[in-house]
Amino acid sequence: QVQLVESGGGLVQAGDSLRLSCAASGRAFRTMAWFRQAPGQERELVARLIWTSGPTYYADSVKGRFTTSRDTDKNTLHLQMNNLKPEDTAVYYCAAARRGIITPAPLKDWDYWGQGTQVTVSS
């Protein structure tokens, strides 16, 4: 069993930066990802990485602004978000999958989810 705990959300102004973290207990996963869900919208994939090799996907809307990385010693996933925009406002979730995922996959393929952390960007 893997437990995921996010931290680092908050209220910032447009153009600011935030760094989200996701601490994972256990290592029964091969892929980790960040999703986000804005009010009234579907949950969308923001960034994904293979734990042993690194990032494999960024959403077009965040390319060049967001970077995901992992600290293998601390079993922690990070999402560095720069030049934040009001449209980045959402609850951000960390997810993990037991298998390697390098292509689009439905939400049900992700085995573990964090509780989410709110990111609010004011204009």
Whole-number mean pLDDT of the chain?
A: 95
The Cα-based distances of 37 to 72, 73, 77, 100 in angstroms read: 27, 29, 19, 23
Q: What is the pLDDT of residue 28?
A: 84
Phi, psi of 72 (to 5 degrees): -70, -30
Residue-wise pLDDT tens digits, 36-84:
999 999 999 999 999 998 888 999 999 999 999 999 999 999 999 999 9
The count of residues in the chain is 123
Per-residue DSSP letter, 51: T
- The closest of 88, 76, 66, 77 to 11, measured between CA atoms, is 88
Tokens of 72: 């293998």
- For residues 96-116, average pLDDT: 93
d(CA 43, CA 53): 25
Residue-wise pLDDT tens digits, 2-27:
899 999 999 999 999 999 999 999 87
Q: What is the pLDDT of residue 1?
A: 83
